[in-house]
Amino acid sequence: MERGVIYSQFILSLTFFALGFAQTPPSPAKPEPVKPEPPKISIPEKRLESSLERQRNSVLRQVESVKKINPEAFPITKLPGEEPQVPVPPLPSAEMPKQMSCTPLPRGGIEPVITLAASRAGVSSDLVRAVILQESAFNPCAISPKGALGLMQLMPETARQFGVSNPFDPSQNIGAGANLLRQLLDRYEGDLTLALSAYNAGPTTVDRAGKMPAIPETVNYVRRIMGSLGMQ
């Protein structure tokens, strides 16, 4: 009797254990890690990248343009968004009133240009050379605080008057400067003092004064050039 009771209790315990195991919920599976999506480039970033690319292409075109004037005149600077790699000067422009780094031209290389320009304008090559020395010290990229440009420091309106497309081109600049000297000499009937005064201060100022104006800069300008010509 006792054995039957024990056996029945054993069978009942096994039954409850089995039922409990069957009802135990399975362990949840571990979720797979979510792979991060690649970063999306926003529209403003795309526009910025496109703008930088256009700037790089523009700068490279400027380099080639300036090299035609003086291949060794400019320092290495930085491309937009890149490390320094190639010579990249600013494009010479009358709208850029700041001094550019530029190597003065050798006298021997510029002499044929001076001689030709002076001959065509009918003025002394010594006069043209003296004006260049005083105006820019033979720096083809010189820009004055007032906006005068190049070797003979042409004002933008003067450059346009004489058809100069690039005031930093030595041939165009010297040609226009020599023609301006001829024009002023004719205006003042060969009076070099008045012509040089007008080159520095403008014809209106000279006409108003009726002589070399009492402007210290103009007085020193004329004296230096006349002295270099041995005419003082």
Look at residue 101 in the predicted model and tell me its pLDDT. 54
Closest C-alpha among 175, 228, 186, 180 to residue 200: 180
Domain boundaries 107-228, CATH class: mainly alpha
From 82, 135, 157, 189, the catalytic residue: 135
116-119 contacts: CB < 8 A, separation 24 or more?
117/171, 117/174, 117/175, 117/177, 117/178, 118/178
Active site residue 37: no
pTM of the model: 0.59
Look at residue 177 in the predicted model and tell me its pLDDT. 98
Per-residue pLDDT in tens (0 to 9) along the chain, 232 residues: 555 545 555 555 555 544 554 455 555 556 666 665 555 555 545 554 555 555 455 444 544 544 454 444 333 333 333 333 333 333 344 444 444 557 777 777 899 999 999 999 999 999 999 999 999 999 999 999 999 999 999 999 999 999 999 999 999 999 999 999 999 999 999 999 999 999 999 999 999 999 999 999 999 999 999 999 999 7
Look at residue 103 in the predicted model and tell me its pLDDT. 73
Q: Which residues pair with 87 in a beta bridge?
A: 76
Helices (H), ranges, the chain = 2-23, 43-67, 107-121, 125-136, 156-161, 170-187, 192-201, 203-209, 216-228
Residue positions counted in the chain: 232
Q: Is the sign of the CA dihedral 160, 166, 62, 149 positive or negative?
A: negative
Q: Where are the domains positioned within the chain?
A: 107-228
Look at residue 104 in the predicted model and tell me its pLDDT. 77
Q: Apex CA 195: angle with CA 191 and CA 198, to 5°? A: 145
